[in-house]
């Protein structure tokens, strides 16, 4: 299931520099057409945002501003590629935090003008969806579940720039929920979790927790579509935490003795919700003939996809429905410049969305992926057979 990227020396193939600044990672990478990563650099802001209790957009912007030049320089130096050798520059321009997107875009437009290179604007979710093809030849169409701190969606990838959106989150993204639950539990004070993202901390603590102690309700059980909702679950978890604080006679900000059980129950409910919506998406695709009958594939990516428990939950569904499950390794599930460069190469190969250096491009904080058919999915109202989610820890 784990996939590895190719590595190798620069060939005569075309080279693309990818730049990512849509959220809290400043990333850059140079790739050749085979998907070989010639050089990369990544500056994560995670520790700063952990200390401030969440991403403050102006802080993220300032950190991108301070690091972008060095990160791009490092990626170029490590690849031994001079700007003149590049075939194009690809940069995330949507969706994401406006202030963060602005830094990457401004830098990139200056860079392409200075070196007279074509510019390829990239949709961040398209890049997450296509990363898998850098690691192995996955043919279109395939089903993709993207779950991160900012997004939650199910789509059929039919081509490099051709997506059918089956479902999306109605409120917050699962990574955001896990980050907020971790903050409410003050997991930063936990000796094993002080440097971990909320999702990582919950996964770690859940390993020693009893998921049955707090039976949270899986969201949207009566809505037969492929959309997601996590705000209600967060509310259930918060209420439980308040009750436990009262029982233990401690104030908010104190580590509860039951953190492992709360982490396990939260993770299990998130996993079940993702598995159920994905199960319905698979049944919808089968009913509508949207996936190939031979070796249909589910690709799962985005930061939350690095969670092994969630992968196991999805595996139960794919085994049951006869799909092949592919998850890029954690390093390629989270944000990086590599996936942006790869998306640039895929577009370059097909001649799609390649702009001249003097072009004026605006970033877009909100940008849906592909054609939204979630209403059609809802109208199909597909009922799920009952599945025993006995997920091994």
Residue 389 neighbours by CB under 8 Å, 6+ apart: 268, 271, 272, 275, 313, 316
Give, in degrees to the nearest 5, the angle at Cα 62 between 57 and 66: 150
> 23 vs 275, which CB is nearer to ligand KG4?
23
Question: Min. distance of Cβ 148 from Zn ion in angstroms?
Answer: 4
> 95 vs 209, which CB is nearer to Zn ion?
95
Please give the full DSSP string across 87-136, using - where no structure is assigned.
SEEEEEEESS-HHHHHHHHHHHHHHHHHHT--EEEEEHHHHHHHTHHHHS
Question: Min. distance of Cβ 146 from Zn ion in angstroms?
Answer: 8
**Which span sits near Zn ion by CB under 5 A: 113-121, 157-165, 333-341, 371-379?**
333-341
Q: How far apart are the first and last CA of the chain?
A: 18
* Interaction partner, residue 32 (ligand KG4, Zn ion, none; CB < 5-8 Å by kind): none
Distance in angstroms (rounded) separating the CA atoms of residues 125 and 148: 10
> 21 vs 197, which CB is nearer to ligand KG4?
197
Question: Min. distance of Cβ 316 from ligand KG4 in angstroms?
Answer: 18
**Both tokens assigned to 340:** 């942006």
Distance in angstroms (rounded) separating the CA atoms of residues 122 and 192: 37
> 95 vs 167, which CB is nearer to Zn ion?
95
Question: Min. distance of Cβ 356 from Zn ion in angstroms?
Answer: 28
Task: Please give the size of the binding site for Zn ion, defined by CB under 5 A.
Answer: 2
Question: Considering the rule CB under 5 A, would residue 40 count as an interface residue with Zn ion?
Answer: no
Distance in angstroms (rounded) separating the CA atoms of residues 140 and 291: 9
> 144 vs 285, which CB is nearer to ligand KG4?
144
* Interaction partner, residue 197 (Zn ion, ligand KG4, none; CB < 5-8 Å by kind): ligand KG4
Question: Min. distance of Cβ 288 from ligand KG4 in angstroms?
Answer: 29
Question: Min. distance of Cβ 93 from ligand KG4 in angstroms?
Answer: 15
Question: Min. distance of Cβ 357 from ligand KG4 in angstroms?
Answer: 28
Largest CA distance in the chain: 67
Find the binding residues for Zn ion in span 144-173 (CB under 5 A).
148
* Interaction partner, residue 307 (Zn ion, ligand KG4, none; CB < 5-8 Å by kind): ligand KG4
* Interaction partner, residue 126 (ligand KG4, Zn ion, none; CB < 5-8 Å by kind): none
> 148 vs 307, which CB is nearer to Zn ion?
148
Strand order in the sheet with 15-20: 37-44, 25-32, 15-20, 88-94, 119-123
Closest C-alpha among 311, 321, 326, 315 to residue 270: 311
* Interaction partner, residue 79 (Zn ion, ligand KG4, none; CB < 5-8 Å by kind): none
| Cα-Cα-Cα-Cα dihedral sign, residues 48, 52, 54, 55 | negative
Tell me which residues touch ligand KG4 (CB under 6 A): 23, 148-150, 175-176, 178-179, 197-200, 203, 302-304, 306-307, 334-335
> 209 vs 370, which CB is nearer to Zn ion?
370
Question: Min. distance of Cβ 306 from ligand KG4 in angstroms?
Answer: 5
Closest C-alpha among 131, 120, 162 to residue 349: 120
> 260 vs 343, which CB is nearer to Zn ion?
343
Distance in angstroms (rounded) separating the CA atoms of residues 67 and 276: 40
* Interaction partner, residue 261 (Zn ion, ligand KG4, none; CB < 5-8 Å by kind): none
Question: Min. distance of Cβ 244 from ligand KG4 in angstroms?
Answer: 22
Question: Considering the rule CB under 5 A, would residue 131 count as an interface residue with Zn ion?
Answer: no
> 15 vs 146, which CB is nearer to ligand KG4?
146
CB atoms within 10 A of CB 337: 32
* Contact between residue 280 and residue 374 where contact means Cβ atoms under 8 Å apart: no
CB atoms within 10 A of CB 383: 8
Question: Considering the rule CB under 5 A, would residue 32 count as an interface residue with Zn ion?
Answer: no
Among 335, 338, 348, 373, binds Zn ion (CB under 5 A): 335
Quickly tell me which residue has 């927790």 as its tokens: 209
What φ, ψ does residue 173 adopt, rounded to 5°? -90, 155
Give me the residues that bind Zn ion (CB under 5 A), please: 148, 335
């Amino acid at each position: 299931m784990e996939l590895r990227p190719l590595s190798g020396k620069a060939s005569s193939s075309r080279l693309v520099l990818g730049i990512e600044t849509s959220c809290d990672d400043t990333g850059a990478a140079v790739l050749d057409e085979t998907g070989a990563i010639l050089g990369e650099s990544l500056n994560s802001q995670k520790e700063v945002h952990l200390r401030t209790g969440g991403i403050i957009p102006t802080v993220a912007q300032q950190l991108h501003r301070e690091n972008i030049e060095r990160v791009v320089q490092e990626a170029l130096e490590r690849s031994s590629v001079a700007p003149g050798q590049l075939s194009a520059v690809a940069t995330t321009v949507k969706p994401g935090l406006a202030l963060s997107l602005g830094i990457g875009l401004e830098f990139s437009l200056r860079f392409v003008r200075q070196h007279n290179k074509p510019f390829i604007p990239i949709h961040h979710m398209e890049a997450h969806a296509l990363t898998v093809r850098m690691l192995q030849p996955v043919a279109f169409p395939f089903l993709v579940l993207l779950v991160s701190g900012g997004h939650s969606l199910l789509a059929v990838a039919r081509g490099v720039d051709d997506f059918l959106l089956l479902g999306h989150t109605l409120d917050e993204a699962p990574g955001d929920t896990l980050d907020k639950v971790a903050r409410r539990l003050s997991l930063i004070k936990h000796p094993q979790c002080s440097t971990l993202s909320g999702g990582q901390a919950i996964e770690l603590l859940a390993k020693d927790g009893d998921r049955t102690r707090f039976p949270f309700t899986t969201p949207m059980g009566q809505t037969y579509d492929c959309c997601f909702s996590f705000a209600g679950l967060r509310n259930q978890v918060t209420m439980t935490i308040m009750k436990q604080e009262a029982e233990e006679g401690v104030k908010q900000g104190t580590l509860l003795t039951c953190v492992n059980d709360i982490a396990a129950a939260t993770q299990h409910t998130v996993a079940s919700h993702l598995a159920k919506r994905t199960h319905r998406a698979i049944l919808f695709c089968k009913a509508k003939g949207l996936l190939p009958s031979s070796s249909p594939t589910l690709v799962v990516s985005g930061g939350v996809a690095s969670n092994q428990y969630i992968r196991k939950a999805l595996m139960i569904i794919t085994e049951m429905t006869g799909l092949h499950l592919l998850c890029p390794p954690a390093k390629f599930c989270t944000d990086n410049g590599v996936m942006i460069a790869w998306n640039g190469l895929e577009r370059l190969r097909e001649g799609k969305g390649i702009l001249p250096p003097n072009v004026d491009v605006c970033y877009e904080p909100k940008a849906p992926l592909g054609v939204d058919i979630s209403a059609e999915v809802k109208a199909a109202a597909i009922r799920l057979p009952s599945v025993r989610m006995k997920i091994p820890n």
